[in-house]
Structure 1
Amino acid sequence: MALGTALMTLVGVATASGAGGEYDPSSLARVVQGIAAGIGFLGGRAILKGGDHVRGLTTAATLWVAAGVGIACAAGLWHTTLIAVAITTVVLVAGRRADALLHRWFPATDKPADE
């Protein structure tokens, strides 16, 4: 995902020239807007609701981060990219461990909540 968005952003930068051959930042903004709309659609499809359970929120959020990482890489924002990847990795790893720990402490019951 990040590689694809980086490629699209680089193509947007390379082709973002106006009539006089000058750089036109609005072209890049349109590329980023298109990426954001596409990722929003994919993220929305990743979120599933079944009964009382909602699944896929982490997947959708990770898709957004991957797209942002690709755009930041293509824009040359290396420090920002590395910080975002580090924070995302810590949150995903710590979140998984915290989820497992909470499930161990508070096991799920099969009783409906209204009983």
Structure 2
Amino acid sequence: MKKISFFAALLLCLCSFSCKKNRGIPLDESEPLALAPDVSWAVVIDPYAAFRKNCDWSAEVTGHCRKADVLLVEGKQISPDGIWYRFTDGWLPDSSVYVYANRLRAQNVADGLK
């Protein structure tokens, strides 16, 4: 009888811990394109990267970014120098970024790079 009482008490304790309501995951709506299916996001992996005016290493520098920056991909082009991605400030080569299907995944990777 003591064993049954002990197991009943143990089962009751386990149920009280595991039966809590699921609070859900809050959705950050600050970036409307964060989960859009046809939009890609990039994470800069170089300590510093220079945006280029065109898809060419010798093209004019139009800006800079840093490691772990998360950027919205606006275009993609294959050139003799490789694959390049277009962003608001210019072009970056694929060797400078990792590209992801949504902003949340890109932000998680960026947080790990910091």
Q: Which has the higher strand share?
A: 2
Question: How high is the TM-score relative to the length of structure 1?
Answer: 0.23
Which structure's CA Rg is the greater one? 2
For normalisation by structure 2, the TM-score amounts to 0.23
